[in-house]
């Protein structure tokens, strides 16, 4: 497992430096690939994109292999990242969390297939969890709670967006420096200031994984696919700006409907009673579609300008 991680880091830094999508596909799959491939497209739309991804190393902390002989084979790794010198000619701003943890799930579909990263949420620095064993499985109660968690979190996020009530979701989940979940309520309110109504829907993907950790709980990782529908107020359009990274996913123009698609990876410590604490996350848009339109008769404005997007 250490050898796999070490080789991946080398490939990752090389792919990031040149935004090499083919190389990226050689070591990533699933939602990790979908997020990062779209991010590459965005980076290519911005000048000096070769400096967009500072190189880093990973200190191997812990790993655990999942039980079972069937493919795909999987293992989970906790590692601490550290910065490496940037390429010549690149100036890199100091990172807000230069030694964040990363939690990776690797999978391979056959004995001769390459190991690929499928989940890669970031986390706070330090040994945030302690795996219970080098190769182990969950008990029935823990497994049941872990399976239900993606649907629970999806419901919680939708409820928070529509009501402003976080429920079991902590404020720190939305304002961290090493990782964060994009705040759906803040986005909803900011879109409203631009004259745009927003509705976000989350749906669990089929890539969840759970491993036991010390103390009797589990570390559960999963992906929520999200879809945000943006509709401008009557008689106006959404002014999708030019020169922004997001214009690589949707050309600039006036739109009467925009739908953003993305993926949100979450890592959480879960208990058999259904309680959970989010310990890491990673997200990004995967595609954006739109229906072109024009302002209505007599309109004095081209519509709301997109203002709620903040690059991760």
pLDDT at position 244: 78
Place 79 in a pLDDT band, splitting at 50, 70 and 90.
Answer: very high
What CA–CA distances, in Å, run from 216 to 103, 124, 273, 274?
19, 21, 11, 13
Place 132 in a pLDDT band, splitting at 50, 70 and 90.
Answer: confident
Place 139 in a pLDDT band, splitting at 50, 70 and 90.
Answer: confident
Mean pLDDT, the chain, whole residue set: 89
Between these two residues, 267 and 17, which has the higher pLDDT value? 267
Share of the chain above pLDDT 90, in %: 62
Q: Average pLDDT of 84-90?
A: 84
In this predicted structure, which of 82-86, 205-209, 226-230, 278-282 has the lowest mean pLDDT? 82-86
Element spanning 226, H or E? strand 218-232
Strand partners, 102: 79, 122
For the cut 60, the answer to whether the pLDDT of residue 126 exceeds it is yes
The Cα–Cα gap between 294 and 312 comes to 31
Q: Average pLDDT of 279-300?
A: 85
For the cut 80, the answer to whether the pLDDT of residue 69 exceeds it is no
Between these two residues, 143 and 301, which has the higher pLDDT value? 143
For the cut 90, the answer to whether the pLDDT of residue 308 exceeds it is no
Place 296 in a pLDDT band, splitting at 50, 70 and 90.
Answer: low
pLDDT at position 310: 36
Element spanning 113, H or E? none
Place 307 in a pLDDT band, splitting at 50, 70 and 90.
Answer: very low
Place 50 in a pLDDT band, splitting at 50, 70 and 90.
Answer: low
What CA–CA distances, in Å, run from 263 to 15, 38, 111?
21, 11, 28
> Nearest-CA neighbor of 187 among 226, 234, 236?
226
The Cα–Cα gap between 230 and 258 comes to 5
In this predicted structure, which of 15-24, 49-58, 255-264 has the lowest mean pLDDT? 49-58
Contact (CB, 8 A) for 103 and 221: yes
Q: Dihedral sign, CA of 265, 275, 227, 231?
A: negative
Which tokens is 40 given? 């590459």
Place 303 in a pLDDT band, splitting at 50, 70 and 90.
Answer: low
Q: Average pLDDT of 148-156?
A: 97
Q: Rounded to the nearest 10 degrees, what angle do helices 140-163 and 184-193 cross at?
A: 20
20 phi, psi to nearest 5 deg: -90, 100
Contact (CB, 8 A) for 272 and 209: no
The Cα–Cα gap between 173 and 278 comes to 7
| pLDDT tens digits for range 236-256 | 888 888 777 888 899 888 899
pLDDT at position 112: 95
In this predicted structure, which of 45-49, 199-203, 287-291 has the lowest mean pLDDT? 45-49
Strand partners, 46: none
pLDDT at position 311: 36
Q: Average pLDDT of 155-166?
A: 97
């Amino acid at each position: 497992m250490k050898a796999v991680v070490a080789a991946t880091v080398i490939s990752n830094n090389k792919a990031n430096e040149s935004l090499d999508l083919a190389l990226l596909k050689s070591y990533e799959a699933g939602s990790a690939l979908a997020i990062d491939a779209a991010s590459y497209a965005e980076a290519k739309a911005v000048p000096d994109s070769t400096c967009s991804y500072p190189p880093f190393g990973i200190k191997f902390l812990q790993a655990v292999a999942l039980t079972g002989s069937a493919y795909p084979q999987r293992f989970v790794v906790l590692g601490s990242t550290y910065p490496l010198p940037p390429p010549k000619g690149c100036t890199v701003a100091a990172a807000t969390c230069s030694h964040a943890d990363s939690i990776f799930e690797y999978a391979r579909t056959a004995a001769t297939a390459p190991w690929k990263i499928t989940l890669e949420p970031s986390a706070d620095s330090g040994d945030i969890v302690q795996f219970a064993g080098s190769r182990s499985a969950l008990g029935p109660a823990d497994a049941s709670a872990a399976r239900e968690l993606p649907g629970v979190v999806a419901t919680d996020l939708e409820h928070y967006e529509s009501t402003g009530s976080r429920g079991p979701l902590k404020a720190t989940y939305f304002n961290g420096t090493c990782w964060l979940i994009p705040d759906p309520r803040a986005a909803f309110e900011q879109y409203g200031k631009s004259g745009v109504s927003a509705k976000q829907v989350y749906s669990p993907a089929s890539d969840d994984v759970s491993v036991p950790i010390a103390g009797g709980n589990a570390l559960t990782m999963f992906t929520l696919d999200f879809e945000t529908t943006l509709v401008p107020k009557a008689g106006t359009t959404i002014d999708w700006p030019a020169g922004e990274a997001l214009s690589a996913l949707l050309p600039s123009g006036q739109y009467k409907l925009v739908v953003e698609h993305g993926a949100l990876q979450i890592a959480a410590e879960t208990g058999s009673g259904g309680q959970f604490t989010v310990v890491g996350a990673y997200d990004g848009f995967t595609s954006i579609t739109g229906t072109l339109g024009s302002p209505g008769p007599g309109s004095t404005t081209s519509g709301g300008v997109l203002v709620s997007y903040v690059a991760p």
